[in-house]
Amino acid sequence: MPGEAGVCAYANADQGAGKNCEKETRSGSMKRYVSNSDESVRMFQNNFLEFFSHVHPSIPAIIYLPVIALMFYRSVTAGLSLSYVLPLFVLGILVWSLTEYFLHRFVFHFVPKSNWGKQIHFMFHGVHHDYPSDSTRLVMPPIISVPLAILFYFVFTNILGAHYLPPFFAGFIVGYLTYDLTHYAVHHFSLHGKFGLYLKQHHMRHHFMDPDNNFGVSSPLWDFVFGTFVRKRQESATAER
């Protein structure tokens, strides 16, 4: 059960994730979060569960870099040539980017109606929109990512076959790691490189301007494809009048 502060994210979920917590600032814009400081809200009364809701950003790399290495090793032992490995690897990265987009748009931003659904939504994603700078909740907890990785592994095995799976799955996991580390970086670091700053601005617009758009984190590609890319604040007709 989320802590008292967490009720904000799902108390009126039919209004959208965290939107019931909006407050008007002095400039007249809407504040779409509870706190933008690096602080946490308690999600579980149980200390054991609460502990595992906080994840150091190195954990995904510790878990999944060996998986990537194993997939490349299996590609070699399977006798796959570079002409197979490279396209399948790139395809895996591309499929992850699409998976990232759909998970963020249709799963993380799904608005449940039941009280338990609102609580689950808060634990999965609502807490991040309420406390977007909480550095301990910027990467996916292994308790979620590992079962998902296993599920995707078997799904893709059935689609591609065990022989061609390793380079594809290596690319898929590289895509996932890129997503997790990019998400941590855009929230936690001051990025100055052109591409890094672009990704940061793209994601910050999702958080602080329009949570119904800009769902891509590691890439804005699918926002362009599906028409959910926004660059500037869209003033409503009411506001214009």
Q: What is the DSSP string of 27-44?
A: TSPEE--S--SS------
> Do the domain assignments include residue 42?
no
- Listed range (32-46, 78-92, 189-203, 225-239) with the worst mean pLDDT: 225-239
> Do the domain assignments include residue 49?
no
> Do the domain assignments include residue 40?
no
- Determine the pLDDT at residue 5: 38
pTM for the whole structure = 0.82
- Listed range (7-16, 34-43, 82-91, 124-133) with the worst mean pLDDT: 7-16
The total domain count for the chain is 1
- Determine the pLDDT at residue 240: 34
Q: Can you tell me the distance from the alpha carbon of 123 to that of 45, in angstroms, rounded to the nearest whole number? A: 13
> Do the domain assignments include residue 41?
no
- Choose between 34 and 181: higher pLDDT: 181
> Do the domain assignments include residue 43?
no
> Do the domain assignments include residue 210?
yes
Which run of H or E residues covers position 182? helix 165-188
C-alpha distances in Å from residue 132, one per residue of 41, 191, 195, 203, 234: 11, 17, 21, 11, 22
Angle between helices 165-188 and 142-160 (to 10 degrees): 150
- Determine the pLDDT at residue 121: 83
pLDDT per position as a tens digit, 168-194: 999 999 999 999 999 999 999 988 889
Domain range for 229 is 4-34+59-240
**Which residues partner with 24 through β-bridges?**
30
> Do the domain assignments include residue 48?
no
User: If pLDDT is split at 50, 70 and 90, which confidence band does 28 have?
Assistant: very low
> Do the domain assignments include residue 103?
yes
Average pLDDT of span 122-150: 91
Angle between helices 59-77 and 165-188 (to 10 degrees): 160
